[in-house]
Structure 1
C-alpha cells in the first residue's frame, strides 16, 4: 500500500451463528462501500475479531439478493483474499487508518459490542470518523469515551425494531438494536422501513439498512440528499 493512499478499516463480524441460525456479514454491506471507497482513492483493509475468513450471511448470497456489485465482489480475487484472510481487530493499528466502517448482518450482534469495543473507542478518541450500517452500530453500543457511551447524545440510526419484527428476528437477536442505542443515550432516528436513511452527527455516520451505504458520505463528505435529522 502506498503511504499517500488513505486507508479505511472495515471491521466485520467473525460470528457465523445466532442461536441456531446461520449468519455472518451481509455481503452487499461489505461490497458496495468497498468499491465506493476504492473508486474515490481510499484503500480498504478488512479485519474481524477472530481474523481469517469472514462468514457471509447465506441469505445475502442468494440470487435474489445479489446486486451486480456483490457478484463482482465474489469474483474479485483481491477482494475475496482480503475477506478470507482478514486481520485480527486486536492487531490493527488505528494510526494507519483515517476512518472505521462496520458492515452489518446479524453476526455483528454477537461479537461486535464486546470484541470491537477497544477498536471503536480508539478511533473515537483519535477524533476519526466511525461509520456503520444496518446492524453494524451494534459495535458502538458498549464503546465509551471519557467514561460515557460514545453514542450518548448522538443522533444515530440502525436497523429498526419494526424491520427486525418484519423479518422475524426479534426473538433471535440478543437485544433489539434500536432499543439498546436508546438505552445508551443515543438520539435514535429512523426512516420508513426498507428505505434509504442516513444520520450524520459530527464524526459518526450511521445508515439504517442495506438500501443505503453510509460510507458514500465519508468518501465525498456530503449527505447526498439522505436524511440527517
Structure 2
C-alpha cells in the first residue's frame, strides 16, 4: 500500500513542478522570450490593431481565431507609449481567440493584462469594420496572426484597399506571423504587389507543418515568395521557438508569436525617427 501512496505523491509533485515551471522552460526555449521595450512617448499618436474574424479551422472544424500574444503584446507596447489603440477586423464585430493561446502554459503577461482590461475586451468583442475606417486616422496599422487569419486577411478586398491607401499615405505597416497575409493583396505605389522586392517575414512553412495546419488556405511564406517578396526568417530546432523581425521602409514584420515584442519596438523606433525629421 505504501508504494501506491509514494507513487501518487511523486506524480502530484511532478504535476505541481510542471505547472509552475513549464511556462518558464518554454520561454527559455524561445516561446515569448523575455524582451524589454524601452520607454517611448507617443502621446497623440494612434495605432490600429487588425485581427481575423474567422473562427473555424476548416475542414477539421476545430475552433481557431487570432493568437493572443500576437495582438496583446504590440497592443500594450503602443498603449504603454501613450498611443490610442483601436481594434478592427475585416467584417467588424467579434474577434475570436485561437484556443490555447490565452491559457496555460502559453498565455503571457500581456495576455493576462488584456483579459482583465474591460476596455480592451469590449473592443475585442466589438471591433471596427475595416470598410468604416480611414487609414489617415492612424500612424500605425498592425496585423496580428493566428490560424484564422489564413481565411480572411488576404481574401478581404476591403483590407487590401485599406492597406494600399495606408501605404500610399506613408503609414507604418506592421504584422506578425499570419498577419503578413494582410499585406499580400495590397498594391504599392507602382501598382505592383506591395511586398514585391521588399524584405518581409511571416510564419514559416516549417512551423505550419509542425502544428499540422497545412489544411489552411494561405501560408505566409508561400504567398510572400509567390509575390516576389524577399522572404526572411530564422530557424530553430523547431520553428515555433525561433523569431525574426524584418524592416524595409514602412514595412516592419515579425516571423511568429515570439516576434511581437521586437516588432512593436522597431515600430516605435520608426515613429520616433519620423518625429525627429
CA distance in 1, matches of 2:133, 2:208: 32
Which of 148, 151, 161 does residue 107 from structure 1 map onto? 148
Of 43, 48, 69, the residue aligned with 2:110 is 69
In the alignment, what sits opposite 1:158?
202
Corresponding position of 1:10: 49
The aligned residue for residue 249 of structure 2 is 202
Alignment correspondent of 2:67: 26
Contact 2:150–2:219 (CA under 8 A) maintained in structure 1: no
Mark the structure with the bigger radius of gyration: 2
Matches within 5 A, 1:1-229: 5-19=44-58, 20-115=61-156, 116-145=159-188, 146-170=190-214, 172-192=215-235, 193=239, 194-213=241-260, 214-221=263-270
C-alpha displacement at 1:197, in angstroms? 0.7
Q: Which residue of 2 aligns with 1:227?
A: none
Tell me how far 1:82 sits from its aligned partner.
1.1
Cα distance, 1:69 vs structure 2: 1.4
* Superposed displacement of residue 196, structure 1: 2.2
Higher helix share: 2
Is the 1:99–1:123 Cα contact (8 Å) retained in structure 2? no
Distance 2:83 2:113 in 1: 18
On the 8 A contact 1:101/1:215 being kept in 2, the answer is: no
- What secondary structure, in the 3-state scheme, does the structure 2 residue paired with 1:144 have? coil
TM-score of the aligned structures, taking structure 2 as reference length: 0.76
Deviates more, 1:180-189 or 1:55-64: 55-64
Question: What displacement does 1:175 show?
Answer: 2.9
**Alpha-carbon offset, residue 59 of structure 1:** 2.3
More strand, by proportion? 1
| Partners of 2:186 and 2:75 in 1: CA distance | 24
1:49 CA displacement:
1.4
1:72 Cα deviation from its structure 2 partner? 1.2
User: Partner of 1:200: helix, strand, or coil?
Assistant: strand
Matched residue SS, 1:199: strand
1:104-142, CA deviations, whole angstroms, 9 ceiling, x for partnerless residues?
A: 001111110121211111111111110100110011111
Distance in 2 of aligned mates of 1:164 and 1:71:
26
Q: CA deviation at 1:165?
A: 0.9
Q: Once the two structures are superposed, what CA deviation does each residue of 1:46-80 show, in whole Å capped at 9, x if it has no partner?
A: 11112111111112122211112111110110111
Aligned CA-pair RMSD: 1.3
Q: TM-score of the superposition, structure 1-length normalised?
A: 0.91
Q: For 1:52 and 1:177, locate their aligned partners in 2 and report how far apart those are by CA, in whole Å.
A: 25
- Distance (Å, rounded) in 1 between the aligned partners of 2:85 and 2:153: 19
The unaligned stretches of length 5 or more in structure 1 are 223-229
